[in-house]
Amino acid sequence: MTSSQDNIYAKPYQKVSDFQFDDKVAGVFNDMIRRSVPGYGQIINTIGDLAHKNATPNSKIYDLGCSLGAVTLNVRRRLEGRNCQIIAVDNSESMIERCKQNLSAYVSETPVKLICGDIRDIEIEQASIVILNFTMQFLAPVHRERLLKKIYDGLLPGGILVLSEKLYFEQDRIQATLDDLHLDFKRANGYSELEISQKRSSLENVMKPDTLQQHEERIRAQGFDQFSVWFQCFNFASMVAMK
């Protein structure tokens, strides 16, 4: 997957506008997410492993908030001979356009239905796996419970949800420490203090992280039988929930 280097926040802005998944972001997104989210590459690969182990024959797999298709591409390679279909959804036209190109670069027997739309509006059915990889954090908190309920209802018995999110911690020293380690990760990946602070301002109104406890309680409240964090680095985690 090609991507230019992210220098969107490198020059000073008088007023930083709210973060959007527009054409500018889509053009650098692969670089941006790899330099911003610790463990991103490992999470993508492991979602492929989870798909390989859990996708049942003739079922559907949903990649909600698919961006450039990193999850879909990895999962698609791991579904050999199972007659599955992947449904990949994003409401950013720029992301969907690029995702389409990325998917067409490889041949696969598994069909992908690419939908440009809101994940709150799409139907989920016959699913063995639903993946929300750093997407739900961008949905206003009031919409999160209904989305999880819809996912639970659309999963087949034994189906799984993979949910990756940035976390917030109520213990103030833990929050400050993990946040600082995350910022060091960004610094080590070449982001300047200006880039870090302007990106932070732009995300403030649009990305609202929950605590791990909020995630677990809300997920279990929908009926999921089993829940665990399977990956965490600083304030980024990936969870798995089983129906």
Ligand X SMILES: C[S@@+](CC[C@H](N)C(=O)[O-])C[C@H]1O[C@@H](n2cnc3c(N)ncnc32)[C@H](O)[C@@H]1O
Q: Is 16 helix (H, G, I), strand (E, B) or coil?
A: coil
Helix/strand/coil (H, E, C) string of 192-230?
Answer: CHHHHHHHHHHHHCCCCCCCHHHHHHHHHHCCCCEEEEE
Helix/strand/coil (H, E, C) string of 106-151?
Answer: CCCCCCEEEEECCCCCCCCCCEEEEEEECCHHHCCHHHHHHHHHHH
Judge contact between 235 and 182, C-beta under 8 A. yes
- Residue 215's nearest CA partner among 205, 228, 203 is 228
Judge contact between 5 and 31, C-beta under 8 A. yes
Partner from ligand X, ligand PRE, none contacting 95, C-beta within 5 to 8 A by type: ligand X
Q: Tell me the pairing of strands 236-242 and 127-133.
A: unpaired
- Closest CB to ligand X among 27 and 65? 65
- Closest CB to ligand PRE among 13 and 83? 13
Does 74 show up as a binding residue in the annotation?
A: no
Exactly one of 60, 144, 166, 215 binds ligand PRE (CB under 6 A); that residue is 166
Residues touching ligand X, count (CB under 6 A): 20
- Closest CB to ligand X among 55 and 96? 96
Exactly one of 59, 135, 198, 238 binds ligand X (CB under 6 A); that residue is 135
Q: Rule CB under 6 A: say whether 134 interacts with ligand PRE.
A: yes
Q: Rule CB under 6 A: say whether 36 interacts with ligand X.
A: no
For 216: left if phi > 0, alpha if psi spans -120 to 50, otherwise beta; the answer is alpha
CA distance 202 to 179: 17
Measured N-to-C along each axis, helices 212-221 and 144-154 cross at an angle, to the nearest 10 degrees, of 50
Binders of ligand PRE among residues 54 to 113 (CB under 6 A) are none
Binding mask 204-233 for ligand PRE (x = CB under 6 A): ------------------------------
Q: Rule CB under 6 A: say whether 44 interacts with ligand PRE.
A: no
Q: Rule CB under 6 A: say whether 33 interacts with ligand PRE.
A: yes
CA distance 119 to 58: 22
Which range touches ligand X (CB under 6 A), out of 11-19, 100-108, 135-143, 197-205?
Answer: 135-143
- Closest CB to ligand PRE among 154 and 209? 209
Which range touches ligand PRE (CB under 6 A), out of 33-41, 46-54, 79-87, 210-218?
Answer: 33-41
Q: Rule CB under 6 A: say whether 124 interacts with ligand X.
A: no
Q: Write out the binding residues for S-adenosyl-L-methionine.
A: 40, 65-67, 90-91, 118-119, 133, 200
List contacts with ligand PRE (CB under 6 A): 32-33, 36-37, 134, 166, 199, 203
